[in-house]
């Protein structure tokens, strides 16, 4: 959400006013810095190794067998829709009709955009948890909605650095309640939450559900990190709470769970009327996408529990490695309960401005990170926080930690 001065022609800006504030993302700037300085890129959240060999082979097989090489069906190939429904049932006991209640999209990104474009009328208010994933603000803007941020705030004080294991970014439920107005159309949630690593608790989700039912709100929930919850009870889909199955649009994606972020296979599960609405918008965005990859993801979703457990164990070890390394380097660390990001506080290092800190970090220490401030409307609230990704090879994380010791 960093903006750069937009190009114009004949005195008129080329980029329309809805998108003007979203010039270029911070990821482009920081990734360019990583390349220019040879720094280790812990900025953007993509794995530096590919997912399971058998899933990659499944994609190759689909390509060779001519499955998905032409336009797949608009809602997604039947095999994948059945696999998504089976996954929701096996993991969460949620049943969805694969023909009426499942929609395959071009990643979670398209699912988010299509949901907002379909469900939001210009002038409607959309409540989202701040800091937010950068596509939320842009998609709300494209839909003509007004975003109403509710800020997650760290409990405890940053102190003098170290791995304050208990500190998390928390949702103030009173603040959420106060944000609801007669113009509120929907809540846009994200748990596990990027960038803070917060996983909303059962009690918090129950309260959100009560609020949604009381005000008859729709909820769009981004659960792309559903398989990256490090502690019991694991992921709790909002749709499992009382009154939520019929008002929730649940979004997930294969990118994070199977480490194939380039395939862009995402999906929506929701009641038939909500799926039909989202599909109406989706059909004019991409129509369809990722043909052969859809067959491969269908196989991936049916992998035995051992895959998901091993993936989680590997990521937990990487979280611990990076979190303790950052603590040793003097950061205050908000140990994430989910996702593959660690949010740190730079104040114990004598710094206040995360954007300036991240711009200087590649030169100073040979590491790239992302300033959380770019994910906030209230930039001051996010100023001292900096995000590092740990979805990287262990040797890369070890080298990054060694470099950061110089701070």
Instruction: Say whether residue 25 binds ligand PLP (CB under 6 A).
Output: no
Smallest separation (angstroms) from ligand PLP to the CB of 282 = 13
Which CB, 133 or 307, lies closer to ligand PLP? 133
Which CB, 114 or 120, lies closer to ligand PLP? 114
Stretch that binds ligand PLP, among 13-21, 23-31, 226-234, 261-269 (CB under 6 A): 261-269
Size of the site for ligand PLP (CB under 6 A): 14
Among residues 88, 115, 190, 294, which is the contact residue for ligand PLP, using CB under 6 A? Answer: 190
3-state secondary structure of 42: coil
Which CB, 145 or 266, lies closer to ligand PLP? 266
- The DSSP output letter for 267 is E
DSSP of 294-354, one letter per residue?
HHHHHHHHTS-HHHHHHHHHHHHHHHHHHHHHHHHTT-EEE--SBSSEEEEE-GGGT---H
Instruction: For the segment 307-336, give every residue that binds ligand PLP (CB under 6 A).
Output: none
Helix-strand-coil split of the chain, %, nearest 5: 40, 15, 40
Which CB, 241 or 258, lies closer to ligand PLP? 258
Which CB, 168 or 264, lies closer to ligand PLP? 264
Smallest separation (angstroms) from ligand PLP to the CB of 225 = 7
Residues 6+ apart with CB under 8 A from 6: 13, 14, 15, 20, 23
3-state secondary structure of 385: strand
CA dihedral (94, 112, 220, 131) in degrees, to 10, reads 120
**Helices then strands, each counted (H, E), the chain:** 14, 17
Smallest separation (angstroms) from ligand PLP to the CB of 132 = 8
Instruction: For the segment 95-134, give every residue that binds ligand PLP (CB under 6 A).
Output: 107-109, 133
Among residues 25, 88, 194, 196, which is the contact residue for ligand PLP, using CB under 6 A? Answer: 194
Among residues 41, 88, 253, 344, which is the contact residue for ligand PLP, using CB under 6 A? Answer: 253
Which CB, 84 or 224, lies closer to ligand PLP? 224
Instruction: Say whether residue 189 binds ligand PLP (CB under 6 A).
Output: no
Smallest separation (angstroms) from ligand PLP to the CB of 90 = 21
Host H or E run for residue 266: strand 265-269
CA distance 36 to 30: 10
Which CB, 235 or 264, lies closer to ligand PLP? 264
Among residues 51, 149, 161, 266, which is the contact residue for ligand PLP, using CB under 6 A? Answer: 266
Stretch that binds ligand PLP, among 7-15, 24-32, 231-239, 251-259 (CB under 6 A): 251-259
Instruction: Say whether residue 222 binds ligand PLP (CB under 6 A).
Output: yes
Which CB, 109 or 184, lies closer to ligand PLP? 109
- The DSSP output letter for 162 is B
CA distance 169 to 387: 13
Residues 6+ apart with CB under 8 A from 139: 112, 113, 116, 117
Smallest separation (angstroms) from ligand PLP to the CB of 226 = 11
Stretch that binds ligand PLP, among 92-100, 171-179, 256-264, 380-388 (CB under 6 A): 256-264
Evaluate whether 312 touches 125 at the Cβ level (below 8 Å).
no
CA distance 256 to 187: 23
Smallest separation (angstroms) from ligand PLP to the CB of 364 = 27
DSSP H stretches of helix in 104-220: 107-119, 134-142, 173-179, 202-214
3-state secondary structure of 21: helix
- Neighbouring CB atoms inside 10 A of 11's CB total 5
Smallest separation (angstroms) from ligand PLP to the CB of 12 = 32
Smallest separation (angstroms) from ligand PLP to the CB of 197 = 11
Which CB, 190 or 248, lies closer to ligand PLP? 190
Is the C-alpha dihedral spanning 89, 95, 98, 104 positive or negative? Answer: negative
Among residues 103, 187, 224, 373, which is the contact residue for ligand PLP, using CB under 6 A? Answer: 224
The residue nearest ligand PLP at its CB is 107
3-state secondary structure of 47: coil
Contacts to ligand PLP by CB under 6 A: 107-109, 133, 190, 194, 222, 224, 253, 255-256, 261, 264, 266
């Amino acid at each position: 959400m960093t903006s750069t001065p937009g190009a114009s022609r004949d005195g008129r800006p080329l980029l329309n006013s809805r998108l003007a504030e979203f010039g270029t993302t911070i990821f482009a700037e920081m990734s360019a810095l990583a390349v220019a300085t040879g720094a280790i890129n812990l900025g953007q959240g993509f794995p530096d190794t590919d997912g399971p060999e058998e899933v990659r082979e499944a994609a190759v097989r689909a390509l060779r067998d001519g499955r998905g090489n032409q336009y797949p069906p608009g809602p997604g190939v039947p095999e994948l829709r059945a696999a998504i429904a089976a996954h929701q049932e096996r993991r969460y006991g949620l049943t969805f009709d694969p023909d009426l209640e499942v929609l395959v999209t071009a990643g979670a990104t398209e699912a988010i955009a299509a949901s907002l474009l379909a469900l939001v009328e210009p002038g409607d208010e959309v409540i989202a948890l701040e800091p937010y994933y950068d596509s939320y603000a842009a998609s709300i803007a494209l839909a003509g909605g007004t975003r109403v941020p509710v800020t997650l705030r760290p409990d405890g004080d940053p102190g003098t650095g170290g791995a304050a294991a208990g500190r998390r970014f928390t949702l103030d439920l009173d603040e959420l309640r106060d944000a609801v107005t007669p113009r509120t159309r929907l809540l846009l949630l994200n748990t596990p939450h990027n960038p803070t690593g917060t996983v909303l608790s059962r009690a918090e989700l129950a309260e959100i559900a009560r609020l949604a039912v009381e005000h008859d709100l729709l909820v769009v929930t981004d659960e792309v990190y559903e398989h990256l919850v490090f502690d019991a009870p694991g992921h709790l889909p909002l749709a499992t709470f009382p009154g939520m199955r019929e008002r929730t649009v649940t979004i997930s994606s294969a990118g994070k769970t199977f480490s194939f972020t380039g395939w862009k296979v995402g999906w929506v599960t929701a009641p038939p009327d909500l799926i039909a609405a989202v599909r109406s918008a989706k059909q004019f965005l991409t129509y369809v996408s990722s043909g052969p990859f859809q067959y491969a993801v269908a196989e991936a979703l049916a992998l035995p529990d051992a895959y998901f457990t091993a993936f989680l164990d590997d990521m937990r070890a990487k979280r611990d490695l990076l979190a303790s390394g950052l603590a040793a380097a003097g950061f205050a660390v908000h140990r994430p309960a989910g996702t593959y990001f660690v949010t740190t506080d730079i104040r114990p290092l004598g710094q206040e401005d995360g954007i300036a800190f991240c711009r200087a970090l590649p030169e100073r220490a040979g590491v790239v990170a992302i300033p959380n401030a770019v994910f906030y409307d209230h930039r001051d609230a996010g100023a001292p926080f900096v995000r590092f990704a740990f979805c990287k090879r262990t040797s890369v994380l070890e080298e990054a930690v060694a470099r950061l010791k110089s701070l």
